[in-house]
């Protein structure tokens, strides 16, 4: 009896030792993988880091979510001649993005938990039994990690105009491979020619009924197509996370420039006018009878954005199908006036233009220059340059269809002619005290502004004359060859009639140093007075 107990005791001890040895091979959780991959770098970033939080659908999680390195697992499977089908089942001839289950039907909480534990831990145990390096198989803390040492550097990728052209060119314009609509009668996805729209017009951020989210749809379609092409020994796009979502890998994606125009029967140039179907359009009080219609160069604007969604954010219909004078529920009650002019919206005309003015090459003037009613009215006329609201819309001639407002405006910047007495430099000495006067490189500054306007289609269109060259500094003065001095407006340090207007010293320093900062001009630095001023030397005692 005692011998039997001794044999059982030794069996338990040996089993425990064996378990320790096996676990020693298997217990390589995400932190251990991170430490090995980082090679001494404590801050490891990966684009394939996924948080497995499926159990959150059933309430508050009992343990931390599982940080999962997707590419690390696909690479391990490839070494054993396995691929995506090991974890992702096929559904409708494509891989399901969900782990070992279909896209429909919620699983019971316990069943879902067992599915993950049995599949993941079972795979680890199988690999460990073959003597292969693998992940944890028993202890919860190796997978459920509250603060993993790996951080995600995942970056969203967009099918911009360049990538879209490369796909269309490779597939010889077989638009039906990607574009589809749901036919209610046939209860199936169908392709309708000339009705192609962005995937995001139908697939939102969350799955709704049988319409999967954009994330699930893009992974199923894109990766599925890439895998199929690779199986046919054809060159195809990436199938791993890093191939699309790693910031450094994204920089290596080949760009097509210039991108050939996508022809979907869109107009070259149109007049933005009222919609006769809108009953509110008949009310004259809603309209400014003096405001001309907008002649919109559609062709030019196509090349300005990466996708059609920059303007057509809901679908490819005209703006006034959702945005009317009074607003519609379909357009979130945003009126057509707001849709075109809202300053803080990236989808509106004015908002998009305002975004451009915040770029460094424009910010020196636009972030510092006060607005005025005269300039606002002038900018209105830059766009509202068509026929009056009551006039009949003319048919555009072929020449007008191809003419660009940007091209005609840019013509005035082909050469810059200075008046005979235009100063090369200006000595600014009105406030000289401890420091000497400033030799302001007047002509060099004007040349730099002129070049930046000339090289920008948008700036050339809106700065159609040389007055913009002067108004960057002479912001409230009418355009003239001899504008008034700064001291005419900026006098004493504090003006009780206009507290927001700085004195002369404040105006000079805010304008000059503010421009340098906004445009990332390193020299002269704001704190370096000697960069502009020559320090006066003290006079010797008599």
Question: With pLDDT > 90 as the criterion, what percentage of the chain qualifies?
Answer: 22
Distances (CA, A) of 541 to 19, 513, 534: 94, 36, 21
**Which tokens sit at 368?**
């510092």
d(CA 470, CA 354): 20
Contact, 100 vs 88, CB < 8 A? yes
**Which tokens sit at 184?**
């209610």
Binned at pLDDT 50, 70 and 90, residue 25 comes out as: very low
Binned at pLDDT 50, 70 and 90, residue 32 comes out as: low
Greater confidence (403 vs 98) lies with: 98
pLDDT of residue 29: 58
Per the document, the length of the chain is: 542
C-alpha R_g of the chain = 33
For 183-222, the pLDDT digits (tens) are 989 988 999 988 888 999 999 998 888 788 999 899 989 9
pLDDT at 370 over 80: no
Q: Percentage helix, strand, coil, to 5, in the chain?
A: 45, 10, 50
Q: Looking up tokens 């790996």, which residue turns up?
A: 150
Contact, 292 vs 386, CB < 8 A? yes
Residue-averaged pLDDT of the chain = 79
The interaxial angle of helices 122-129 and 2-26, nearest 10 deg, is: 100
Greater confidence (528 vs 412) lies with: 528
Binned at pLDDT 50, 70 and 90, residue 180 comes out as: very high
d(CA 114, CA 394): 70
Comparing C-alpha atoms, which of 37, 20, 103, 107 is closest to residue 72? 37
Binned at pLDDT 50, 70 and 90, residue 246 comes out as: very high
For 422-472, the pLDDT digits (tens) are 888 988 887 777 778 888 899 998 888 888 888 888 888 787 666 778 888
Distances (CA, A) of 29 to 4, 82, 151, 417: 39, 21, 15, 70
Greater confidence (41 vs 198) lies with: 198
pLDDT of residue 245: 96
Question: If you count DSSP H runs as helices and E runs as strands, how many of each does the chain have, helices first?
Answer: 21, 13
User: What is the SS3 assignment for 208?
Assistant: strand
pLDDT at 50 over 60: yes
Question: With pLDDT > 70 as the criterion, what percentage of the chain qualifies?
Answer: 78
pTM of the model: 0.75
Q: Strands across the sheet with 435-440, in order?
A: 426-428, 435-440, 533-535
Q: Lowest mean pLDDT: which of 67-71, 322-326, 336-340? A: 322-326
Distances (CA, A) of 268 to 113, 296, 340, 401, 461: 57, 9, 19, 6, 17
d(CA 207, CA 204): 7
pLDDT of residue 203: 92
Q: How many other CB atoms sit within 10 Å of the CB of residue 517?
A: 15
Binned at pLDDT 50, 70 and 90, residue 11 comes out as: very low
User: What is the SS3 assignment for 446?
Assistant: helix
Cα angle vertex 205, ends 203, 209, to 5°?
60
pLDDT of residue 210: 79
Greater confidence (507 vs 375) lies with: 507
Count Cβ atoms within 10 A of the Cβ of residue 524 and give its class: 0-12 exposed, 13-18 middle, 19 or more buried.
Answer: middle
Domains and CATH numbers, the chain: 26-152 (3.90.10.10), 161-251 (3.90.10.10), 269-402 (3.90.10.10), 405-535 (3.90.10.10)
pLDDT of residue 281: 43
Q: Lowest mean pLDDT: which of 10-19, 153-162, 283-292, 294-303? A: 10-19
User: What is the SS3 assignment for 320?
Assistant: helix
Binned at pLDDT 50, 70 and 90, residue 28 comes out as: low
CA 192 to chain centre: 29
pLDDT of residue 242: 95
d(CA 465, CA 410): 9
pLDDT of residue 249: 95
Binned at pLDDT 50, 70 and 90, residue 166 comes out as: very high
**Most confidently modeled of 227-231, 269-273, 398-402, 434-438?**
227-231
d(CA 53, CA 194): 41
pLDDT at 412 over 90: no
């Amino acid at each position: 009896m005692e011998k039997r107990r001794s044999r059982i005791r030794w069996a338990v001890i040996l089993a425990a030792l064996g378990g320790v040895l096996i676990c020693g091979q298997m217990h390589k959780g995400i932190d251990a993988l991170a430490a090995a991959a980082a090679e001494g770098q404590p801050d490891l970033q990966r684009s394939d880091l996924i948080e497995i939080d499926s159990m959150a659908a059933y309430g508050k999680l009992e343990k931390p979510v599982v940080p999962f390195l997707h590419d690390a697992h696909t690479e391990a499977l490839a070494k054993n001649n396995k691929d995506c089908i090991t974890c992702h089942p096929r559904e409708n001839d494509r891989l399901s993005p969900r782990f070992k289950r279909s896209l429909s039907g919620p699983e019971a909480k316990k069943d879902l938990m067992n599915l993950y534990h049995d599949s993941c831990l079972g795979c680890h145990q199988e690999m460990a039994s073959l003597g292969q390096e693998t992940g944890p198989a028993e202890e919860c803390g190796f997978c459920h990690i509250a603060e993993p040492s790996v951080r995600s550097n995942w970056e969203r990728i967009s099918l911009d105009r360049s990538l879209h052209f490369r796909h269309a060119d490779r597939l010889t314009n077989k638009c039906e491979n990607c574009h589809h609509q749901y036919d209610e009668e046939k209860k199936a996805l169908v392709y309708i020619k000339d009705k192609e729209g962005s995937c995001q017009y139908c697939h939102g951020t969350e799955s709704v009924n049988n319409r999967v989210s954009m994330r699930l749809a893009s992974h199923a379609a894109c990766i599925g197509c890439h895998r199929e092409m690779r199986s046919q020994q054809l060159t195809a796009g990436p199938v791993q996370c890093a191939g699309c979502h790693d910031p450094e890998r994204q920089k290596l994606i080949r760009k097509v420039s210039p991108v050939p125009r996508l022809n979907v029967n869109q107009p070259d140039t149109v007049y933005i006018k009222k919609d006769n179907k809108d009953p509110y359009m008949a009310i004259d009080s809603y309209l400014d009878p003096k405001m001309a219609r907008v002649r919109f160069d559609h062709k030019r604007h196509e090349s300005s954005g990466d996708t059609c969604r920059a303007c057509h954010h809901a679908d490819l219909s005209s703006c006034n199908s959702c945005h009317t004078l009074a607003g519609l529920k379909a357009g979130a009650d945003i009126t057509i006036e707001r849709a075109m002019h809202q300053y803080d919206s990236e989808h509106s005309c004015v908002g998009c233009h305002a975004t451009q003015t915040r770029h460094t090459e424009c910010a020196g003037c636009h972030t510092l220059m006060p607005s005025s009613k005269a300039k606002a009215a002038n900018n209105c006329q830059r766009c509202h340059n068509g026929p009056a609201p009551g006039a009949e819309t003319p048919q555009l001639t072929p020449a007008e269809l191809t003419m660009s407002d940007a091209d005609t405006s840019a013509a005035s910047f082909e050469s810059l002619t200075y008046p005979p007495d235009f100063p090369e430099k200006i000595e600014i000495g009105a406030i000289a005290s401890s420091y000497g006067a400033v030799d302001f490189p007047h002509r060099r500054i004007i040349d730099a502004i002129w070049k930046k306007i000339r090289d920008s289609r948008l700036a050339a269109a809106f700065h159609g004359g040389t007055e913009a060259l002067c108004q960057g500094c002479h912001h409230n003065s009418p355009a003239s060859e001899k504008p008034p001095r700064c001291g005419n407006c900026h006098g004493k340090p504090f003006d009780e009639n206009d507290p927001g207007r700085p004195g002369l010293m404040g105006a000079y320093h805010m304008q000059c140093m503010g421009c340098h900062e906004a445009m990332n001009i390193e020299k002269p630095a704001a704190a370096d007075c000697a960069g502009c001023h020559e320090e006066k030397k003290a006079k010797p005692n008599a």
